[in-house]
């Protein structure tokens, strides 16, 4: 009997002062609202939550993390058009998005973000 794969964790690392982030929030919210049950979406203001992301160098927005369990599938800047996030999440759900080699600080990020979200 096989077990179901862990649900996706999708996080957007942004900043309250960033105009692009403000424009991207409805896209992120729509993806969350359309997501299958169990997937977790976390909007992280990198200044308000500096303890969680302090070791991560976020230079451009929106920076998106997609992880399955503790495995990072994608970490990087994502063009803020709705279709880009939708295609990325579809690939992750279908299993065609393979794990990304990341720095140890980024590899630890899924667990820290789940703790931040209280799950």
The model's pLDDT over 15-38, given as tens digits with 9 standing for 90+, comes to: 999 999 999 999 999 999 999 999
Cα torsion angle, 111, 112, 117, 119, sign: positive
For 79-113, the pLDDT digits (tens) are 888 899 999 999 999 999 999 999 999 999 999 99
Q: Encode 28-58: b = buried (16+ Cβ within 10 Å), e = exposed.
A: beebeeebeeebbbbbbbbeebeebbeebee
Look at residue 22 and tell me if it is in a domain: yes
Range of the domain at 105: 9-117
pTM here is 0.92
On whether the CB atoms of residues 89 and 10 are closer than 8 A, the answer is yes
**Which is it for strands 8-14 and 40-45: parallel, antiparallel or unpaired?**
parallel
φ and ψ of 102, to 5 deg: -135, 165
- The confidence band for 2, taking pLDDT boundaries of 50, 70 and 90, is low
**Residue 119: pLDDT over 70:** no
Evaluate if residue 50 carries a pLDDT over 90: no
Q: Reading across the β-sheet that carries 40-45, which strands appear in turn?
A: 40-45, 8-14, 63-68, 71-77
Looking at the 3D structure of the chain, how many domains does it have? 1
Q: Does residue 1 lie within any of the structural domains?
A: no
pLDDT value of residue 102: 94
Is 16 part of a structural domain of the chain?
yes
Structure tokens at 79: 């063009």
Q: Which of 6, 25, 7, 5 is nearest to 15 (CA)?
A: 25
Supply the pLDDT for residue 43.
Answer: 95
What percent of the chain clears pLDDT 90, i.e. is strictly above it?
74
Could you tell me the CATH number of the domain that includes residue 80?
3.40.30.10
Average pLDDT, the chain: 91
Phi, psi dihedral angles at 40 (to 5 degrees): -115, 130
pLDDT in tens, 53-75: 877 888 899 999 999 999 999 99
For residue 114, the 8-state DSSP code is H
């Amino acid at each position: 009997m096989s077990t179901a794969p862990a649900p996706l964790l999708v996080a957007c690392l942004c900043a309250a002062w960033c105009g692009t982030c403000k424009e991207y929030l409805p896209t992120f919210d729509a993806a969350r609202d359309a997501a299958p049950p169990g997937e977790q979406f976390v909007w992280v203001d990198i200044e308000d939550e500096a303890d969680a992301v302090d070791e991560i160098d976020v230079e451009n927005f929106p920076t998106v993390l997609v992880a399955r369990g503790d495995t990072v599938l994608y970490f990087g800047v994502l063009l803020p058009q709705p279709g880009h996030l939708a295609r990325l999440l579809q690939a992750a759900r279908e299993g065609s998005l393979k794990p990304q080699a990341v720095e140890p600080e980024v590899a630890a990020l899924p667990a820290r973000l789940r703790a931040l979200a209280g799950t």
